[in-house]
Amino acid sequence: MPFGMLLSKSFYKKIIFFNLLIVLQLFINPVFAIEDRIPDVVQAIGKAIVNIKTEEIAKSETQDKKTSIIKKFMESEEEEDINENYGSGVVINPNGIVVTNEHLISKAINIKVKFLNGKEYDAYVLGSDPELDIALLKITGEESFPYLKIKKKKVVRVGEKVIVIGNPYGLSNSVTVGVISALGRNLRIDNRVYVNLIQTDAAINPGNSGGVLMDTEGNPLGIVTAIYSEGKGIGFAIPIEDVMDMLSEFLSVGSKRPIFGLFLEKKKDDGSVYFNVNRIIPGSPAEKSGIREGDKIIGINKKKIKEGIKLYKTMRELAKMDSIQLNILRDEKNFIVDIETKSINEYKPSPIDEGLINVRVSDIKGYPKLKFRTRQRDGVVVTKVYKGGLGERMGLKNGDIIIKINNFLISGKEEFNTYMLEGLKRNYILFQVKRKESIFYLPVKLDALL
């Protein structure tokens, strides 16, 4: 064989091999590029992911079920009675607004936020939505904090690579990687109904709750909220759009919680979902509209009640309309109730103590001070607990003194009313109560209030 022909064939083989390498690089390099970006994204975003430590009163197994939520916090503190819980949060504003999960702070008496650099701050609840399992915290401090910028809405695709940053088991800034497994998931976990969740196979462990789910470019896609205990590699996050809607609601000037005046319970009979009216606030728009206790709300604005409906979110949306139409079932008969939303937006329960929590409170002076033989100056004293009401179910008793609401010291009934309304707007109310020589905390759950 001539040498020139041999050289020619060898030359062509090299060209073909070189071309194949180029083709392979075109396919492989994007994958490597994504992998290479992850450390940079984590380094940039990690400063805005915080460790959240909460303290809550420990529950005693020996306590009666009715009062199991009350764990007395003795001033002498002879034994440990405080539980510490750990989770994650995302700072989304330079002023120190943090997004986390509601279940992490729902019974917290103290909240600490710790940054990657080791700096720790106190925080308080700015607002919460138990149905969405989202809470907004405000860090106490005037400085500017590192935060995660929320960019314009991004189309999330099944199969795209994602990163989760959180604090599992209190370990700061732990990173896991996976893909989006599914979108729009609805499920029930621990007696909560979640809707429209993002599903991912990125490892999510206890303590990751409140962490961030983001794409490989650092765009936040959701806030980690739940783990499906029945299977590994199944975690969920709340879409970031839902979080931002809530943030906008709570930060808007003059934002308040619209109240119709119904305490509802979601029930399901023969496959049909409805809201049962358990209690009506006297003098409320609900009472004036003719709704009675025991009525069933089976539809809102010509739409049937569905399993995944979020009561608080629905009420906020409806309050922006001119009118609301409720489909009521009473004694097997259907009828429609039309309500002007103006009456809902302007309504304020009065008296607040009796209307909201079914107790009567008084300033600590005169006859109440003598009757209950107290030397306490600050706060309000509970003078009556209505049978079967929310206050009784919470565990309040005659003579109890409510000293603080959401860790704000109250001087009397006027401030009690002010902080109750403020707490109602935040959807978060925590009492500090004194009974004889004991002090304990009681969360006021008004999730069922429409």
Catalytic residues, which ones? 103, 133, 209
CA angle 342, 343, 346 (to 5 degrees): 85
Residues facing residue 121 across a β-bridge: 113
Q: Hey, what amino acid is at 208?
A: N
User: How many Å apart are CA 178 and CA 215, to the nearest integer?
Assistant: 10
Q: Do residues 432 and 398 lie in contact, with contact meaning Cβ atoms separated by under 8 Å?
A: no
Place of tokens 């019974």: 107
Q: Token pair for residue 188?
A: 């029930």
The separation between the first and the last C-alpha atoms of the chain, rounded to the nearest angstrom, is: 93
